[in-house]
């Protein structure tokens, strides 16, 4: 695949842009062919603004010339969404830094291109953090995390991006700069516009600044890892849900993990983690062990070593592949599977049998308190045709249990053929109306989102 328009065709327009924001922020790559096995995004023009005003000018320029723009943070989610061919890749990496941090208010305001590593390091100095599992911390940006609605195992206790975003600055495709929300923990003035931009994949506006709730890092942590049969795990899940335990993670894990976290066998393992004051952690670890035994689960490992627990959190948080690091490896497809809490076990059984039939290996992490599961399939490139079938079978199964299966990461060749966002739904038209209202010329992430938006 070639670019629809190469940079050479746009020389006059580019001159205008260079004048508007500075030549050093605009670079071009001409006629780079797209590779079918690619996980990364490319565009003939790359713009690296250093200030919000640059983005406003870029938007006005793009609107005028009807050029399409895809904002990008660290590029870890490049392989998410329908294949699309933007004219401009808008790198947010230099829109970076802490704007305002008020530890006493448990809130922080950061620019969208700030890396997760920088953000968490700043919070850690005051014993705080943002409890969303945000993988690939060195390259992932906070704007990217919220735009892709990334969540991980700690969601069981702490919720997801929508529970943390309080306010944001957004630039609309026509160059309008808006403030949405308010920089306080509770606010109902006007519509809750924050919600629109979370998980919208940058299709409605460019987030330039976010105000986020923070949390104190808990004093103590502990975990139980228990290897069990599926029936035992189902029983355990019921007992846990009906108990007063307050796990910060409760995941059903299967597959081999890169770092040693104590999961060795090929049998599913349940990981139950707790964050609290030490007496409460200790009590809950004992209770969790008791519940495991009540289900006949003998093989358990317990740790209240904070570093070990952190390692587990990190490893589980890193399950989501980084699109920048997949090229040259075997074929990897990651799907997010959404179901009710009690259906997680069924989902696991279904995807396991669908993959086994095609001799495709899988890694699975299912949230036993959330109903959010991730499956990562891995196989050789020769099996490509079977992939499309596998994805649609998984989606059909999710549909049959009133759930959803979304392809969150796959190479271009797979995304060209699969229904990345699953089947179209009753609400697609309404969503398209929202998109049309804000981005009538489809300039932002054109074609990448649900329903070809």
Partner 1 sequence: MIDAPLDEKRKQQMIDALSRVVGKKSILYRYEDVMAYECDGYTIHKGLPAAVVFPSNTEEVAAIVSYLHQQQIPFIPRGAGTGLSGGATALNGEVIISLVRMNKLLHVDYDNRRAVVQPGYINLKLSNSIASKGYYYAPDPSSQATCTIGGNVGENAGGAHCLKYGVTTNHVLGLEVVLPNGQIRRFGGTLDTPGYDVLGLLTGSEGTLAIVTEITVRILKKPQEVSTVLALFDKVTDASQAASDIIACGIIPAALEMMDAMAIHGVESGNYPVGYPKDLAAVLIIEVDGIAAGLQEQIEEIMQVCKNHHVREVRKAKDAAERARWWANRKTAFGAMGTISPDYLVQDGVIPRSKLPEVLERIGQISKQYGLRIANVFHAGDGNLHPLILFDSRVEGETERAVEAGSAVLKACADAGGSITGEHGVGVEKMEDMRFIFNDIEIEAQMQLRDVFNPNSLCNPHKMFPKPARCVEMKRLSREVPAVNI
Residues between 368 and 427 that touch partner 1 (CB under 8 A): 370-372, 402-404, 406, 421-422, 425-427
Q: What does 69-86 look like in DSSP terms, one character per residue?
A: EEEESSSTTTT-SS----
Positions 130 through 169 that interact with partner 1 (CB under 8 A): 149, 151, 159-160, 162-163
Positions 50 through 109 that interact with partner 1 (CB under 8 A): 102-107
Structure tokens at 204: 């409605």
Positions 317 through 336 that interact with partner 1 (CB under 8 A): 336
Structure tokens at 336: 């997010």
Contact 148, 75 (CB under 8 A): no
Single out the segment in contact with partner 1 by CB under 8 A; choices: 17-25, 57-65, 67-75, 273-281.
273-281
Q: CB 403 → partner 1: shortest distance, Å?
A: 6
* Separation of first and last alpha carbons in the chain: 21
445 binds partner 1 (CB under 8 A): no
Q: CB 58 → partner 1: shortest distance, Å?
A: 18
Instruction: Please name which of 72, 78, 16, 51 lies closest in space to residue 209, comparing C-alpha atoms.
Output: 51
Positions 205 through 234 that interact with partner 1 (CB under 8 A): 215-217, 219
Single out the segment in contact with partner 1 by CB under 8 A; choices: 17-25, 48-56, 281-289, 385-393.
281-289
Neighbouring-strand partners of residue 227? 269
- Beta carbons within 10 angstroms of residue 432's beta carbon: 15
Q: What does 374-426 look like in DSSP terms, one character per residue?
A: EEEEEE-GGGHHHHHHHHHHHHHHHHHTT-EEEEEE--HHHHHHS-TT-S--T
447 binds partner 1 (CB under 8 A): no
183 binds partner 1 (CB under 8 A): yes
Do the bridges between strand 269-276 and strand 107-111 make them parallel or antiparallel, or are there none, so unpaired?
unpaired
The nearer residue to partner 1, 137 or 335, going by C-beta atoms, is: 335
Neighbouring-strand partners of residue 210? 110, 168
Positions 13 through 42 that interact with partner 1 (CB under 8 A): none
Among 124, 184, 357, 361, which residue interacts with partner 1 (rule: CB under 8 A)? 184
d(CA 144, CA 79): 13
The nearer residue to partner 1, 44 or 317, going by C-beta atoms, is: 317
The nearer residue to partner 1, 29 or 196, going by C-beta atoms, is: 196
Do the bridges between strand 88-91 and strand 69-72 make them parallel or antiparallel, or are there none, so unpaired?
parallel
Q: CB 419 → partner 1: shortest distance, Å?
A: 11
Among 288, 438, 443, 444, which residue interacts with partner 1 (rule: CB under 8 A)? 438
The nearer residue to partner 1, 215 or 306, going by C-beta atoms, is: 215
The nearer residue to partner 1, 107 or 269, going by C-beta atoms, is: 107
């Amino acid at each position: 695949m070639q670019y629809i328009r190469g940079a050479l065709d746009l020389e006059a327009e580019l001159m205008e842009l260079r004048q508007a924001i500075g030549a050093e922020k605009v670079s071009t790559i001409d006629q780079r062919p797209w590779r079918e096995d690619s996980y990364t995004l490319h565009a003939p023009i790359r713009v690296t603004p250093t200030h919000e005003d640059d983005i406003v000018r870029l938007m006005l320029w793009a609107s005028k010339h009807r050029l399409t723009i895809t904002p990008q943070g660290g590029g870890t989610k490049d392989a998410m969404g329908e294949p699309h061919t933007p004219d401009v890749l808008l790198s947010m990496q230099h829109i970076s830094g802490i704007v305002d941090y008020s530890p006493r208010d448990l809130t922080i305001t950061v620019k969208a291109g700030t890396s997760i590593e920088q953000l968490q390091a700043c919070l850690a100095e005051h014993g705080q953090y943002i409890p969303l599992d945000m993988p690939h911390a060195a390259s992932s940006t906070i704007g990217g995390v919220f735009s892709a609605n990334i969540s991980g195992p700690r969601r069981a206790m702490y919720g997801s991006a929508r529970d943390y975003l309080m306010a944001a600055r957004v630039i609309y495709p026509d160059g309008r700069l808006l403030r949405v929300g308010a920089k306080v923990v509770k606010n109902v003035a006007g519509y809750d516009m924050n919600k629109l931009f979370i998980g919208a994949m940058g299709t409605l506006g460019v987030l330039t600044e976010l105000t986020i709730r923070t949390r104190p890092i808990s004093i103590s942590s502990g975990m139980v890892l228990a290897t069990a049969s599926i029936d035992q795990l189902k029983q355990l899940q019921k007992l846990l849900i009906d108990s007063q335990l307050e796990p910060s993670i409760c995941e059903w894990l299967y597959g081999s993990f890169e770092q040693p976290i104590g999961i060795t066998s090929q049998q599913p393992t349940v990981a139950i983690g707790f964050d609290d004051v030490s007496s409460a952690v200790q009590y809950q670890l004992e209770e969790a062990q008791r519940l495991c035994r009540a289900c006949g689960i003998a093989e358990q490992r317990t740790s209240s070593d904070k570093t070990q627990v952190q390692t587990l959190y990190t490893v589980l948080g890193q399950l989501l592949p980084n699109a920048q690091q997949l090229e040259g490896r075997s074929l990897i497809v990651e799907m997010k599977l959404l179901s009710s809490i009690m259906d997680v076990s069924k989902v696991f059984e279904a995807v396991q049998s669908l993959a086994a039939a095609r001799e495709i290996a899988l890694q699975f992490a299912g949230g036993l308190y959330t109903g959010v599961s991730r499956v990562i399939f891995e196989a050789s490139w020769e099996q490509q045709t079977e992939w499309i079938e596998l994805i649609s079978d998984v989606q059909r199964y999710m549909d049959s249990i009133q759930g959803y299966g979304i392809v969150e990461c796959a190479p271009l060749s797979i995304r060209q053929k699969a229904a990345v966002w699953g089947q179209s739904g009753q609400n697609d038209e309404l969503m398209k109306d929202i998109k049309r209202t804000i981005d009538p010329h489809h300039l932002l992430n054109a074609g990448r989102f649900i329903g070809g938006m």
